[in-house]
Amino acid sequence: MDKIVVLDFGSQYSHLICRRIREFSVYAELVPYNITYEELQKHNPKGIIFSGGPSSVYNQDAPIPESKIFDMNLPLLGICYGHQLIVDKFGGKVKRANKEYGSSLLTIDDNEKLLSGIGESIRAWMSHGDEAESIPNRFKIIGHTESAKAAAIASEDKAIFGIQFHPEVVHTEYGTKILENFVLNVCNAKQDWTMEGFIDSTVEKISKIEGNVLCGVSGGIDSTVAALLIHRAIGDRLKCVFVNNGLLRLDEEREIETMFKDNFKVNFTTIDASQKFLEKLSGIDDPEKKRMIVGEEFIHVFSQFAKENGPFKWLAQGTLYPDVIESGVSKGPASVIKSHHNVGGLPDWLELDILEPLRELYKDEVRKIAKILGVPERLFMRHPFPGPGLAVRIIGEITPNKLSIAKIASKIVEDELIEADWYKKVWQAYASVGEDKAVGVVGDERKYGNIVMVRIVDSIDAMTADWTRLPHELLEKISNRITNEIEEVTWVTYAISSKPPATIEPQ
Ligand code: XMP
């Protein structure tokens, strides 16, 4: 398979470069900027991209790749900091400039190769504090903005390009086209990265392993897709376990079991540990204690299952590519299989090797595979749900009454958003319940009932979030349904704190 290697200089957009390239079916991988020349050669790349980054090339501690990498005679594209590195390395000069952040008009001076097919000017996304004052010999300017005269440059002799703007962000018009020009036309990379191909090659790799595989499934898309791929490869040598902790969304346990057992015919066990979890959580209102109890109890139930149903040689996990990179455990995702013990607090005696079929993939790629494998859309479009479930959505002690309110009210929120075509537009949406009560009137009677808090947020990565400006009519409908359909509830509030200072979950 043809591959583009992206050297990561620390830009928040580095992963996006890979994702954009993969979107047009070429495999791209992110590696640390200080990868050795020998290691990089082993990747056998068709081209190299230097990402952006927060540093300045003239700083003493600036991240600089091994010098032989510049002379590999491979197509090279530098983006932002990467552009400045190329300018500096080949003899131009980079200087501090006025910070330019946001959209600028890029005028195309030369529409051959890199900037072909994008017209005479585009809006391009800038985020930099340095710029090229002079460009290296035998380089030419192929695009400029009002403030940066060398916003895009190209070598006259080699396939080397530098661009000050970020083609990987959606705010750059024709950004993907520019990446395509580089990857397809300059590097001549083949578009052979497809999810169908990935499924075939992964199933083939996994079918060669020996021994039984244990997979804990949560109903989330990652563990589901990992399990289904392994199931294709080794059938009943895979055993899936689903632990019902009593903190799930309404009917979730039944939906998950039906999907795995009836639709996919997977060797699947549900352990109903809800009573045990809820007993352990009884009287606890501290959020971190709740998390700890849920985590410990899960390990306990899971290990017990492994002991009674083993031996297992493998533990399957739905680890994704960004986790692999961030954990720093591996320099690349190349292998599906990792030898590793005692993961996530599981006891040593389990001695399991780790099988991670998704460790090369981004989330959107996992969604595509889910679709190909026939996973119901409802599951792969569902919002993220915290591991400790309703334990962190119920404020204060968890009681059967609060659990029931949170489940039914959240279902109403989800159903109404789906009905009004808002569900896919928001990041997370749920209803929470706490200790507070308020007076209402039902018929002629005063009633002292629960307050339900509806929380619906927009976010890109859960690091920050903003409350969703939902139409008032929709909020009204949600509120009416909650108070009408849940007897104990008298008031509904809408949480309008953003993150920060609030968080997405109330506990
Ligand atoms: P907060 O509440 O910190 O949540 O703004 C950010 C994102 O993380 C999810 N979340 C969790 N996920 N275990 C999880 O697996 C947890 O303990 C946990 N707490 C919060 C939350 O749903 C949101 O997507």
CATH number at residue 74: 3.40.50.880
> Is 505 part of any domain?
no
Q: Write out the E strands in 279-385.
A: 314-316, 337-338, 353-355
Q: Are 220 and 156 members of one domain?
A: no
Q: pLDDT tens digits, residue range 333-379?
A: 445 555 554 556 788 888 899 999 999 999 999 999 999 999 999 88
Does 438 map to a domain? yes
- The pLDDT of residue 330 is 45
Residue nearest to atom 12 of ligand 1 (CA): 386
- DSSP letter, residue 143: E
Indicate whether 335 and 455 sit together in one domain: no
**178-229 pLDDT, tens per residue?**
999 999 999 999 999 999 999 999 999 999 999 999 999 999 999 999 999 9
DSSP 222-255: HHHHHHHHHHHHHGGGEEEEEEE-S-SPTTHHHH
Q: Which two tokens stand for residue 352?
A: 């399991």
Q: What is the 3-state secondary structure (H, E, C) of 12-28?
A: CCHHHHHHHHHHCCCEE
Q: In the chain, how many domains are there?
A: 3
Q: Are 209 and 337 in contact (CB under 8 A)?
A: yes
> Does 506 reside within a domain?
no
The binding-site residues of ligand 1, defined as CB within 6 angstroms of any ligand atom, are: 291, 384, 386-388, 392, 428, 462, 499, 503-505
CATH number of the structural domain spanning residue 456: 3.30.300.10
Q: What would the pLDDT profile of 271-325 be if each residue is shown by its tens digit?
A: 999 999 999 999 999 999 999 999 999 999 999 999 999 899 999 999 998 888 7
Residue with the smallest CA separation from ligand 1 atom 22 is 386
Q: Which of 331, 348, 380 is the last residue of a domain?
A: 380
In whole angstroms, what is the distance from residue 216 CA to residue 85 CA? 45
- Cα 351 to middle of ligand 1, angstroms: 29
Domain boundary among 358, 380, 402: 380
CA of 289 to the centre of ligand 1 (A): 15
CA 387 to ligand 1: nearest atom: 15
Residues 228 and 326 in one domain: yes
Contact 443, 490 (CB under 8 A): no
List, by residue number, the catalytic residues.
80, 166, 168
Between these two residues, 443 and 481, which has the higher pLDDT value? 481
Residue of the CA atom closest to atom 21 of ligand 1: 386
The pLDDT assigned to 350 comes to: 82
Query: Residue 8 belongs to what H/E stretch?
Result: strand 3-8
The structure tokens listed for 272 are 């109903």
Quote the DSSP letter at residue 499. Answer: B
The per-residue pLDDT for 337 is 59
Residues 13 and 121 in one domain: yes
CA of 367 to the centre of ligand 1 (A): 20
Q: Which domain holds residue 216?
A: 195-380
pLDDT, greater one: 477 or 321: 477
The verdict on residue 504 lying in a domain is no
| CA-nearest residue, atom 4 of ligand 1 | 504
- In this predicted structure, what is the pLDDT of residue 415? 98
Tally Cβ neighbours within 10 Å of residue 396.
16
Mean pLDDT of 124-132: 91
Give the domain-ending residue among 356, 380, 404: 380
- Domain shared by 182 and 206, yes or no: no
Query: In angstroms, what is the span from residue 505 Cα to ligand 1's centroid?
Result: 6
Q: Based on the domain organization, do 97 and 16 belong to the same domain?
A: yes
For ligand 1, what atom is nearest to the CA of residue 427?
A: 24
Assess if residue 328 is contained within a domain.
Answer: yes
Let me know if residue 503 belongs to a domain: no
Rounded Cα gap, residues 101 and 320, in angstroms: 31
User: Which H or E run contains 367?
Assistant: helix 363-373
- Where helices occur in 335-382 by DSSP H, the ranges are 363-373, 377-380
Q: Which of 65, 135, 125 is nearest to 100 (CA)?
A: 125
Convert the pLDDT of each residue in 10-66 to its tens digit: 998 999 999 999 999 999 999 999 999 999 999 999 999 999 999 999 999 999 999
pLDDT confidence band for 463 (50 / 70 / 90): confident
Q: Whose CA is closest to 114, among 179, 176, 52, 173? A: 179
Domain assignment present for 500? no
Residue 469 CA to ligand 1 center (angstroms) comes to 21
Q: Are 8 and 77 found together in one domain?
A: yes
Q: Are 64 and 22 members of one domain?
A: yes
How far is the C-alpha of 58 from the C-alpha of 312, rounded, in Å? 54
Strand order through the sheet with 353-355: 268-272, 238-244, 213-216, 314-316, 353-355, 337-338
Q: Is the pLDDT of residue 241 over 90?
A: yes
Distances (CA, A) of 329 to 12, 39, 42, 66: 20, 16, 19, 22
Do 166 and 238 fall into the same domain?
no
Q: Mean pLDDT, the chain, as a whole number? A: 94
In the chain, what is the greatest distance between 2 CA atoms, to the nearest angstrom? 87
> Phi/psi of residue 125, each to 5°?
-90, 125
The answer on 149 and 107 residing in a single domain is yes
Q: Are residues 25 and 119 in the same domain?
A: yes
Q: Which atom of ligand 1 is nearest to the CA of 506?
A: 2
Q: pLDDT value at position 380?
A: 85
Instruction: Give me the phi and psi of 353, to 5 degrees please.
Output: -85, 155
* Residue 83 near residue 164 (C-beta atoms within 8 A): yes
Rounded distance between C-alpha atoms, residue 431 and residue 452, angstroms: 6
Over residues 413-427, the mean pLDDT reads: 98
Instruction: Note the pLDDT of residue 200.
Output: 97
Residue 122 pairs with which residues in a beta bridge? 106
Residue in the structure block whose two tokens are 């980054």: 53
Q: Note the helical H segments in 110-246.
A: 175-180, 195-207, 221-234
Q: Please indicate, yes or no, if residue 387 is contained in any of the structural domains.
A: no
- Determine the Cα–Cα distance for residues 491 and 348; give it in Å rounded to an integer: 49
pLDDT value for 327? 65
Return the residue matching tokens 């903003």: 466
Q: Are 456 and 407 within one domain? A: yes
Residue 69 to residue 78: CA distance in whole angstroms: 13
Of the listed ranges 268-272, 442-446, 499-503, the least confidently predicted one is 442-446
